[in-house]
Amino acid sequence: MYKFFLLFMVISASFVKADPVPLNVVTTIPPLEAIVKAVGGNHVSVISLVKGGGSPHFVQLKPSFIKELQGADLILSVSQDLEPFLHKSMTNLRIKKRWVQVSKIPSLKLLPFRHNCGCCGGHGHHHKHEHKHKHNHKHHKDPHLWLSPINGIALVDWVVARLSLMLPDVKEDFVANGKTLKAEIHKIDKENKALLKDIQKVPYVIVHDGFQYWQKHYGLNQTGIILTPGESQGRPRSLDNLMKKMKQAKTKCVLKEIQLPTPLAQKVARETGAKVYAVDPLSAGSYPELLKTLGQSFSECLRKGKEYRDDLKAGEEK
């Protein structure tokens, strides 16, 4: 009887499906890492090549990166305009079949680079990276696509579908995780809209034009850019024109990405009576946390500008 019991247990065990080996996913930036991690759960092992505080524009392809890429089941990047360090090396690494540029996902809504947005003295917007990647962006798209919650939702749906194809036995887990993540994104987006509603018209300037998706989604009033891409010091004439406009518009909010140097932003703020606030578009936390933190940062900066303008108006009415 005992032998029959053992035989039954062995046969039964043969029909039990073992948990699939976690997929190795390599992303280029923390927001992509966060979305994949939230959808994949324990079924994926995911890393970001660029860590929090780093800039994908100027990262070099290190030997440790190559090792991670060669061992990946799936590689996610944004576009050549954001991560040139990766794109120029992929052919040599012979791993292009596992590589997806998310900017090419049809469901994402992409915006063109702004060539002349009335900022920086009205000069054209041409991209010239320090890594000698030179071209204008007349036909290129702004790569900071994850800063639109709408695109965030689309990315979640795509990741759910892609991981489900790769590990169909746990598709239900991916679908459930994706549904939870999208609910969190919708919740934070709704909160941000309420938080920013009464300060949408308050003018602000930014060091680098990396928040076009965020600005347009929330209807904000960005009126200037301190640095066009590739610049490190700023052109004197452009800066003079920008600061003149800031004084005329009573602009007191200057936003600076933590990945960029501070001195020039401080100089502009000092000469216009504005204040510099740091923002991080590549936060290493969860994707909903990134959206929430950005909402709080923009709100804090813009409310200071609103208070200044309200005080001036009150003084003029006395």
CA distance 297 to 276: 11
pTM of the predicted structure, to 2 decimals: 0.85
- Say what the pLDDT of residue 129 is: 39
CA distance 246 to 254: 10
Residue with structure tokens 């518009």?
A: 249
CA-closest candidate to residue 147, choices 46, 222, 43 = 222
- Say what the pLDDT of residue 60 is: 79
Structure confidence by residue, pLDDT tens digits, 292-302: 999 999 999 99
Structure confidence by residue, pLDDT tens digits, 269-293: 999 999 999 999 998 789 999 999 9
- Say what the pLDDT of residue 16 is: 46
- Asked if the model's pLDDT at residue 131 lies above 60, the reply is no
- Say what the pLDDT of residue 90 is: 75
Other Cβ atoms closer than 10 A to 255: 23
Query: Which DSSP category does 99 fall into?
Result: E
Structure confidence by residue, pLDDT tens digits, 222-261: 999 998 765 556 677 788 999 999 999 999 999 999 988 8
Helix (H, G, I), strand (E, B) or coil at 254: strand
Judge whether 194 and 92 are in contact, CB under 8 Å. Answer: no
- Asked if the model's pLDDT at residue 134 lies above 60, the reply is no
Structure confidence by residue, pLDDT tens digits, 150-161: 999 999 999 999
Structure confidence by residue, pLDDT tens digits, 67-88: 999 999 999 999 988 988 887 7
Count of residues in the chain? 318
CA distance 211 to 148: 9
Q: In which band, very low, low, confident or very high, does the pLDDT at 4 lie, cut at 50, 70 and 90? A: low
- Say what the pLDDT of residue 133 is: 40
Average pLDDT, the chain: 84
